[in-house]
Amino acid sequence: MKSPLRPGDPASLGGYRLLARLGEGGMGSVFLGRRDDGPLVAIKMIKPEYAHDEEFRGRFRSEVKRAWQVPPFCTAAVLDADPDHRTPYLVVEYVDGPSLDEVVAHEGPLADSRLHGVAVGVATALTAIHGAGVIHRDLKPQNVLFALGTPKVIDFGIARALEVTSQHTHPDQMVGTVAYMAPERFDGDHRDITPAADVFAWGAVIAYAGTGRTPFRADSPVATAARILTQPPDLTGLTGPLADLVALALSKVPEDRPTAHELLNLLLAQNTGSGAIGRPLREAAEAAQLSGRHVSGAGLRPEPRGGRRRTWAIIAAATAVTLLAAGVGLFSRRNLEPTAQPLPALTTMPVPGAVRGPWVVDALDRPGQWRAATDDYGGRCSFKNGLAMTTPSFAMVCPGTTRSFAGDQSISVDVSLDNARSCAEVQFRSAGDSSYWLDLCPRVIRIRHEGAVRNTTVGSAEQALFAPGKRRAVVLSVRDEVASVSVDGAVVLERKLTDPSLPAGKVAFGVGPTDEAKDQDAPAGAHVTRAEIRPIEDAVPSSAGTVPPFTDVRRGNTKSIVKVHGYFPKARSVVVEPVLFMTGDEYCDTFKVKSTSDAPCEQAWLTEDSRMVVTLPTSAAPRLTSTFDDPGRCAGDPVTVGTCAIGPEKLAERLGNNGLVEVTTTNGIVTAMADVYVP
């Protein structure tokens, strides 16, 4: 819930302009902010009393570094931090949606696919968090937010910095909310909390989501703690396999609980019937399953008793095999309202259009999905003749899309080097502290694997293709775990990838010195343009031919509904995702869905995401209209598109992330945007 800044609140912090308050907790205050023309972000500013403690700063610095490695699978991505600021702060993705406790308070307990979706989403987040070696420590309904109905977990990775600083914690104090704390957390001598405590919190959160009450509810925090330590959970109202999983997660003994990874495997095995989840959430869950290290606390706690841990590993493995054999492929359709009841899965629904994503397109000629930045060593990412990357000595990576790409994929980009001491670099399948790298140097092309323990060369080719100033078209494709590199259409290197634990991850572009120049502190530079990252699909189902495709906003003159992921007026750019937007009747007529009481036909408006995100240029003065201030006067017929003029800065702030607009383009340049109003 946003509220105005208070007297005494800073107007800015670390270059971010503070716009409103989002909340306040034991560690500090959370603000809504923005840097220049960037997206809205959430900024957590630490309280002054902790800022003066060097032990706290050290812990904060360490935990932030770990949190930065958490992949964005159902989590709010960590974007920036400054542990050395006068008041240390952390910047994360702003999730514009209600929290789980707000949803339950206003709408009552969740059920069926909606409850199962929350269970999968939170387990996906914990799998990603634990896989990066982080423990949340304060998982609760207030830290589960909904972005267009999809759950995202926030506030992970920094609670330990406070909890282990003895000056600020006492025998009767700890970080967290009592109702969601595992029994071992009440042991005054037990300071070595493991990821199993988060799994216990997952059980308590899902019990609350499904029943509207916590499973150990009592009249006071002390009485609640006593029930957690001595009594079984009250799960009245939960039924079926999900109730069994919640009960297992709430086991008193940490070793008797499944890990987050095992939990996610078992939840996905239940992804049928009333428990089916939508495609975006399912893909995030499957990517989380295949990335990271899936930390279970091994090495931090005693061996499990009676072989229970081994039993869970066997169950999880069997579940994974079952999922692969079944080829789960269910889809669900979302209503536009972020907290509306999800629609049932439609097993016969064809994939609409030709885009199956995730798919990223960016000319890299202006801020959009990539942005300007500098690093601590003088490296710089800027926009001049494309994305210009320079570094005085050490290799650097430019911040870009936070999307994760799994399976067969293609990465294409145009590359040129500034001098003979430079190598352009493509980082791919980056998850946690592991990734692959493609080095494009004046005399060699190389694929490397960088792991948590060691770095290895997967393959290299002596090719003098990248003379300074010569622009080359590079395509890196990965199919069936074989990476192939082509330059100007000719294959120059092909090698089998070596790490089976890295089937998915982020993509980034960077620059570094050649091997010969690494010890010379010689500056390196490179330019990249026309980036496109997409899945490799063998074919689109023939049934999709009867479905209207998504509008290709990159070409020609178009008018269509898109989802806005970021609008940057000063840079004259907007990041959009084409969607299908239609009434329930139109939707069911198009997709040949029979009208029933729970079908999409009964919905007022429906969207289908393309998952293709494109950065478009805007004209110098695009026509911008809105309904925000007065929908009754400014909503056009049929009450969907805004008609009243609005300024670019105000529209950018109001749209935030995932706002819907009607966009008009002329030869791929945006000339008008009108926000979409859904009553």
pLDDT tens, 394-430?
A: 889 998 998 888 778 999 999 999 999 999 999 999 8
Alpha-carbon gap, residue 281 to 283, rounded angstroms? 5
Alpha-carbon gap, residue 284 to 276, rounded angstroms? 14
More confident site: 314 or 645: 645
44 labelled binding-site residue: yes
More confident site: 495 or 604: 495
Q: To 10 degrees, the CA torsion angle through 549, 554, 559, 563?
A: 80
Tell how strand 455-462 and strand 444-450 pair up.
antiparallel
0.85 surpassed by pTM: no
Alpha-carbon gap, residue 576 to 661, rounded angstroms? 9
- Across 615-622, average pLDDT: 96
CATH superfamily of 359-535: Exo-inulinase; domain 1 (2.60.120.560)
Give 125-164 pLDDT, tens digit per residue: 999 898 877 888 889 999 999 977 689 999 875 655 444 4
Tell me how far CA of residue 266 lies from CA of 122, 285, 314, 328, 370, in angstroms. 13, 12, 11, 14, 37
**In which residue ranges of the chain is CATH 2.60.120.560 found?**
359-535
Show the DSSP H helices in 387-508 as ranges.
none
Closest CA to 498 of 433, 429, 423: 429
DSSP string over 297-321: -BTTBPPPGGGHHHHHHHHHHHHHH
Q: Residue 306 above 70 pLDDT?
A: no
- Across 467-477, average pLDDT: 96
The total of other beta-carbon atoms located within 10 Å of residue 487's CB is 18
Q: Residue 25 above 80 pLDDT?
A: no
Core vs surface per residue 79-104: b (16+ CB within 10 A) or e: bbbbbeeebbbbbbbbbbbbbbbbbb
Q: Which fold has domain 12-335?
A: Transferase(Phosphotransferase); domain 1 (1.10.510)
Q: Residue 541 above 50 pLDDT?
A: no
**In which residue ranges of the chain is CATH 1.10.510.10 found?**
12-335
Q: Residue 191 above 60 pLDDT?
A: no
Alpha-carbon gap, residue 427 to 433, rounded angstroms? 12
- Active-site residue set: 138
How is residue 433 written in tokens?
């502290």
Alpha-carbon gap, residue 485 to 493, rounded angstroms? 5
Give 552-601 pLDDT, tens digit per residue: 899 889 999 999 999 999 999 999 999 888 887 887 777 676 655 445 67
Tell how strand 359-362 and strand 612-626 pair up.
parallel
